Structure 1
Amino acid sequence: MRKPELAAAVADQTGLTRDKASEVITIFTDEISAAAARGEDVTLTGFGTFSIRQREPREGRNPQTGASIRIPASKTVGFKPGKALKAAVR
């Protein structure tokens, strides 16, 4: 499912226009991104938790040459599904 399809589904279920539903989805994702940029976790009960994870520096290999490369430490966003989401996909 892509954003336009999600916006259409939200619009159908809420009575909003598709443009308004798309705007709400954009605001929702922007707020999650802003919280992640601040280093905060975002928990949506029943759905899951978005959290910032720290990756340690590590060794890797260039697949073309086989040469060893150093991969620096970085931050990434992780997602842990909630109980209801896990149950829905079983």
Structure 2
Amino acid sequence: MTLTKADLVQQIYQNHESFTKAQAAEAVESFLRLSKNALVGGSDLLLSGFGKFNVRDKKPRRGRNPQTGDDLTLDARRVVTFKPSGTLRDKVNKG
């Protein structure tokens, strides 16, 4: 099962009587926009009790085309990694 953005909006709408569905959608969009902007800007995103998103720089590296077997160089790039908090990790492992 996958939790979608629409599911988040619905949960916020149901759990906060003062929110309209449009306000719940805007709250989710605002959070995601702030999160994306932080990561694009190179900042880490720490959500206490959930985990930390990091932006890492990867160096160029050697690769291989699996169809032809030719060697090639993969470009340098930035990647987002996630490290769950101890609290989340414990809850996931306990089921």
Structure 1: runs of 5 or more not aligned? none
TM-score, scaled relative to structure 1 = 0.91
Match of 1:14 in 2: 16
Could you list the runs of 4 or more consecutive aligned residues of structure 1 that deviate by over 4 angstroms after TM superposition?
Answer: none
Structure 2: runs of 5 or more not aligned? none
2:75, 2:55 → 1: CA distance? 17
- State the identity %: 34
2:7, 2:39 → 1: CA distance? 25
Within the candidate set 67, 75, 78, 1:75 is matched to: 78
Deviations 1:20-77 (A, max 9, x none): 1111111101101111122111111110111111111111111111111100111111
Aligned residues: 90
Q: Which amino acid aligns with 1:13?
A: N
Q: Please provide the CA RMSD for this pair.
A: 1.1
TM-score, scaled relative to structure 2 = 0.87
